Amino acid sequence: MTSLTFPPVRIIKTYTVTPRHNPEVPRQLHLSAWDVGMLSTHYIQRGLLFTYPPNLSAQQIIERLRSSLEEALFHFYILSGRLRVVSCEGGGVTCHVEVECEGDGAEFVHAVADEIGVTDVVTMGGQDLPKFLKEFFPLDLAHAVNFDGCTKPLLTVQVTELIGGIFIGCTFNHVIGDGTSFWHFFDAWAEITRCKAAGNEVILSQPPVHDRWFIGGYGEPPIKLPYSSPAEFVVRPLTLLLREKMFHFSSESLAKLKERANQEYRKGIISTFQALSALMWRSITRARCCPPDQKTSCQLIIQNRARLQPPLSPNYFGNSICLISTSTTARELLDNNLGWSSWLAHQIVSNHTDSAIRDQTHKYMEDPFVYNGNMFDKHSILMVGSPWFNMYGCDFGWGKPLAARCSIGNKFDGKISAYPGWEGGGSVDLEVCLLPEYMSALERDEEFLAVVSPPIDLEVLLGTSNKDV
């Protein structure tokens, strides 16, 4: 297969997977402030690539995954529900959204890509990548925001047979949870699959906590939005011709970057990820040729669970994230060194305390709104995801994934998604989305190139041994 052709992915069958009733889950679930803000975002779309296990047929894999998904949905019962818009009584100009947990089920799609191999998925990049990867996620949900029909499933899984392997893609409604919740579910599904294959009783090591967090002082939920219908808050993002590329950073390279940042600013407390965020901010600002007086920002999506006092459970299943930002001019950013910009990133992270989270939530509750991708400043970068997600620990019983990939949802110029590196040890992969001319300039940026590492050799990835199943 060449990078310019896209053989069709054939849908073999679509199933509705419904769990047995979970009496511990309420029939209606109110959304928190962190959830409500996501009502106009795309679904989260992430997937894992595996080689075929040596002693399981494709049909056996499909049946194991369907059966274990049914069990997973019992524990993550909310994912088998549906969103429902409720208008205010009296015909007012407000509405609220809730989740009906009636066990309607998730969607499971079995697909085949006869001409696509695992090497194509690993090596594809550039402008073709989003067009290519969308084939491994349900097409009717690929562009969907969360209100393209409230009857849409909150979770859809597509398992695609490839030459030499399979791709498991999940499309997960962002109103229901953030990246931590997404990978919590994915990892639990893998754990259940392993347990059932071994004939063991399914006892999750990290059962989800479904109770939503609400800040006091604003009455009882639900949170009422100043709209009369979803048409007023669902915003279609602008469609841009983007290039995407995965960049690899070894643990050794990142250790040198962190040491450099701390030496330059002489603080000694700048983290690896803060230094990496500063590097991307500086390099992309140069690539964009921003005017010297142009304001530019480095924005981070940050976890709240452990920062609240008392902290939320690490198994809190929902959204628990905030956007934090630091700004300066292009001149100041580039005239100063990496340590200076890393310190700016460090400050906004260290200042994101319990009181800051509560202040931000209070402000939101006074004037609730729905985020959309068009709000993003085109001169900034946004760092999302986490190199600490357990992506490569998602073992369904046939070994470690070869790669983690993302589809086309929630993409715009300047978005950077962090993944753990395949080899572990603190390595990081970054999926960078930029306009084509900016990506070309980034690939020539000397400071950036001095830190980027060669990708993991394909033979090393394909040499991953599968477990006996």
User: Active-site residue 457, yes or no?
Assistant: no
What would the mean pLDDT of 157-185 be, rounded to a whole number? Answer: 95
Q: Check whether 162 has a pLDDT greater than 70.
A: yes
| Rounded percentage of the chain residues whose pLDDT exceeds 70 | 91
Catalytic residue among 104, 128, 148, 395: 395
Q: What is the pLDDT of residue 237?
A: 67
> Does residue 66 or residue 137 have the better pLDDT?
66
In the predicted model, what is the mean pLDDT of residues 382-400? 94
DSSP labels, 31-52: PPHHHHTTTTSBPEEEEEEEEP
Which of 147-156, 157-166, 271-280, 414-423 is the least confident region?
147-156
Q: What residue ranges define each of the domains in the chain, with the CATH number in brackets? A: 10-232 (3.30.559.10), 243-462 (3.30.559.10)
Residue 128's pLDDT band (cuts 50, 70, 90): low
Q: What's the confidence (pLDDT) of residue 142?
A: 54
Q: What is the pLDDT of residue 468?
A: 38
Q: What is the mean pLDDT of residues 331-338?
A: 98
b/e per residue, 84-109, with b = 16+ CB within 10 A?
Answer: ebeeeeeeeebbbbbbebebebbbbb
- State mean pLDDT over 373-402: 91
For residue 125, name the pLDDT band (cuts at 50, 70, 90): low
Quote the pLDDT of residue 373.
Answer: 72
445 contacts: CB under 8 Å, gap ≥ 6: 283, 286, 287
Q: How confident is the model at residue 15 (pLDDT cuts 50, 70, 90)?
A: very high
**Looking at the predicted structure, is the pLDDT value of residue 371 above 60?**
yes
pLDDT at 465: 42
Which pLDDT tens digit goes with each residue over 297-330? 999 999 999 999 999 999 999 999 999 999 999 9
Across 140-149, 159-168, 201-210, 415-424, least confident range: 140-149
Q: How many CA atoms within 13 Å lie on the side-chain side of 388? A: 6
Burial label, 431 (beta-carbon count in 10 A; 0-12, 13-18, 19+): buried
433 touches 376 (CB < 8 A): no
Amino acid letter at 125?
A: G
Beta bridge partners of 171: 45, 156
Q: What is the residue-wise DSSP string for 395-415? A: --SS---SEEEE-STT--TTE
Is the confidence at residue 156, as pLDDT, over 90? yes
Separation CA 218–CA 366 (nearest Å): 9
Q: Average pLDDT, stretch 67-93?
A: 85
Residue 127: what pLDDT? 53
pTM: 0.94
Q: In the 8-state DSSP scheme, what is residue 423?
A: T
Average pLDDT on 98-113 reads 93
- pLDDT category of residue 149 using cuts at 50, 70 and 90: low
Mean pLDDT value across the chain: 90
Of the candidates 156, 176, 151, 165, the one whose C-alpha atom is nearest the C-alpha of residue 15 is 156
pLDDT of residue 189: 98
Please give the pLDDT value at position 282. Answer: 98
* Per-residue pLDDT, 146: 67
Does residue 275 surpass a pLDDT of 90? yes
Question: Could you report the per-residue pLDDT of 32-65, keeping only the tens digit for each?
Answer: 999 999 998 889 999 999 999 888 999 999 999 9
DSSP 134: G
